[in-house]
Amino acid sequence: MKWSFGLVMVLTSAAGIPAVAQTLSPSFDCTKADGAAEEAVCASDALAALDLETARLYELATASVEGEPLDMLQSFQRGWIKGRNECWKAEVALIDCVAASYATRIHELRASYPATQVESADAISTGPWQVTCGGLDTPVQAVFATTLVSLLWGENAVVLTRAETASGAIYDGVFYDGQPVTFWTKGQEALFMPPGGVEMACEIGSE
């Protein structure tokens, strides 16, 4: 399955992705960073961590397929890298675009290749989790990666940033048309407010 996240992507909040921190090296050589997007990854531990997780999942995925499926996976990865590197063209902050790009790629890899879902001490992402909400005809698929959550339901896809809270975790952001989106989780319970909708009670099922 190939998703067109860019058409419906929520933009993450820069408050959740620190822009300056240079103690963690990403999967590529920062002395050969190609463009503003890779330079941003090299300047942020949070983005570098997302890059390393994406590379880890991609390696697991490539080891699990061969032939035409492997060719397609490699082609999609090249296309994703090209899209990430074009974040300098985005109307939002570069760091927000890059973070959302990583979150959606992590979601796509984990949802499409079972080998990526194997538990690992190195993992910083989990999912996909099936979230059933009373007001939706279709389940919400959620993948968590550090301070981000990527949500997919129907033809809609969003990336939200976690906000600090004393009770559970609250993820929020705005939809591509400017409407607010909120996702609150506590254990197996969740509350989801989709764009233009009302808050609904949900239950988080198995990975």
- Tens digit of each residue's pLDDT (9 = 90 or more) over 33-51: 989 999 999 999 999 999 9
Q: Is 110 helix (H, G, I), strand (E, B) or coil?
A: helix
Q: What is the pLDDT of residue 8?
A: 40
CA distance 104 to 145: 10
Please report how the helices 68-85 and 45-63 are oriented relative to each other, as an axis angle in degrees rounded to 10: 170
The pLDDT of residue 130 is above 60: yes
Mean pLDDT of 9-36: 71
Q: What is the pLDDT of residue 15?
A: 42
DSSP line for 61-83: HHHT--SHHHHHHHHHHHHHHHH
CA distance 124 to 141: 17
Which residue would you say has higher pLDDT here, 174 or 19? 174
The pLDDT of residue 148 is above 60: yes
Query: In the structure, what pLDDT confidence band is assigned to residue 27 with cuts at 50, 70 and 90?
Result: very high
Q: What is the pLDDT of residue 167?
A: 79
Mean pLDDT of 184-204: 93
Q: What is the pLDDT of residue 135?
A: 84
Q: What is the pLDDT of residue 22?
A: 64
The pLDDT of residue 197 is above 90: no
Lowest pLDDT segment from 29-38, 87-96, 146-155, 182-191 = 87-96
The pLDDT of residue 3 is above 60: no
